């Protein structure tokens, strides 16, 4: 699990990569997290602070996603086979 620019939370569940956005509710005057995107990958999740890429390593492939700074949506940049 990691936080991107204190706005987007990315975490791994049993079979998905979940993206949550931090939203302020004016009625209750509280912050809460809401899920806005999901990737169907089952693997390990890597992110280096300051980088704009998310790496997802599965048994067969490694996926490289770019994170859009305006909407914090992942865009698939590259896929390569994992021969390890």
pLDDT tens for 12-57 read: 988 899 999 988 999 999 999 999 999 998 888 988 877 778 899 9
Give the C-alpha distances (Å, rounded to integers) separating 43 from 23, 25, 52, 61, 67.
Answer: 28, 33, 19, 9, 18
Q: What is the pLDDT of residue 26?
A: 92
How many CB atoms sit inside 10 A of residue 45's CB? 16
Residues 52-72 have a mean pLDDT of: 88
Q: What is the pLDDT of residue 20?
A: 93
Determine phi and psi for 27, rounding to 5 degrees: -65, -45
Predicted confidence (pLDDT) at residue 63 exceeds the cutoff of 90: yes
What is the band of 84 on the pLDDT scale with cuts at 50, 70, 90?
low
Determine the Cα–Cα distance for residues 83 and 78; give it in Å rounded to an integer.
16
Q: Residue ranges of the domains in the chain?
A: 2-81
CB 9 within 8 A of CB 23: no
């Amino acid at each position: 699990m990691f936080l991107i620019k204190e706005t987007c939370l990315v975490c791994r569940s049993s079979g998905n990569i979940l993206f949550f956005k931090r939203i302020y509710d004016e009625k209750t005057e509280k912050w809460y997290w809401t899920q806005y995107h999901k990737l169907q990958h089952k693997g390990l999740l890597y992110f280096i602070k300051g980088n704009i890429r998310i790496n997802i390593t599965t048994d067969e492939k490694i996926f490289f996603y770019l994170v859009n700074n305006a909407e914090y949506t992942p865009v698939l940049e590259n896929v390569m086979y994992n021969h390890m």
